[in-house]
Amino acid sequence: MTFYKKAMLAVAGAAMLASAAVNAETIEVKGQGVKFVPDVIHAKVGDVISFRNMATHFVESVEGMWPEDAPKMLSSMGADYDYTVEKEGLYVFKCPPHWGARMGGIMVVGEPADLSATIDKYLQVADTVKEAKPAKGLLNKFKESQK
């Protein structure tokens, strides 16, 4: 590939990223009691998920319920946190101190291929991995809403 073609590809890629940033939205999620509000988020690549009112909370990815190669979530206790979405897919996150009370959320980014199969896969994780079990109710509620 010539230098000119490489340069043009680089410029085109930068333009696409800039376009995504211009169209990005900030979606606010609040820690309220032992719930995230909203607990289901619909986002697109480039959006920023802004966790606020996190005085007694923090946010973390649920292992086994995250798109492959997507950056994990992990904030500090009591701190506001911004997560920029980089990949389409289905994400499940939690507040570790309140996970036993089912404080978690689901984020759907874009239009993931075979969403139903991904939900079923995550439900199997919830059935077999003790740390993921609190996600089961949230996933079942989400699955019902997809019908």
Q: What is the pLDDT along the chain (147 residues), one digit of tens a residue?
A: 555 555 444 444 444 444 445 689 999 999 999 999 999 999 999 999 999 999 999 999 999 999 999 999 999 999 999 999 999 999 999 999 999 999 999 999 999 989 999 999 999 999 999 999 999 999 999 999 987
Q: Please, what's the b/e burial string for 59-96 (b: 16 or more CB within 10 A of its CB; e: otherwise)?
A: bebbebbbbeeeeebebeeeeebebebeebbbbbbbbb
Q: What local confidence, expressed as pLDDT, does residue 23 receive?
A: 82
pTM of the model: 0.84
Determine contact, residues 105/29, Cβ cutoff 8 Å. yes
- Residue tagged 């404080």 (tokens): 103
Q: What local confidence, expressed as pLDDT, does residue 3 receive?
A: 52
Q: What local confidence, expressed as pLDDT, does residue 21 receive?
A: 54
Q: What local confidence, expressed as pLDDT, does residue 68 receive?
A: 93
Which domains are assigned to the chain? 25-145 (2.60.40.420)
Q: What local confidence, expressed as pLDDT, does residue 59 receive?
A: 98
Question: What's the CA gap between 24 and 28, in Å, rounded?
Answer: 13
Determine contact, residues 64/111, Cβ cutoff 8 Å. no
Determine contact, residues 46/10, Cβ cutoff 8 Å. no
Q: What local confidence, expressed as pLDDT, does residue 7 receive?
A: 47
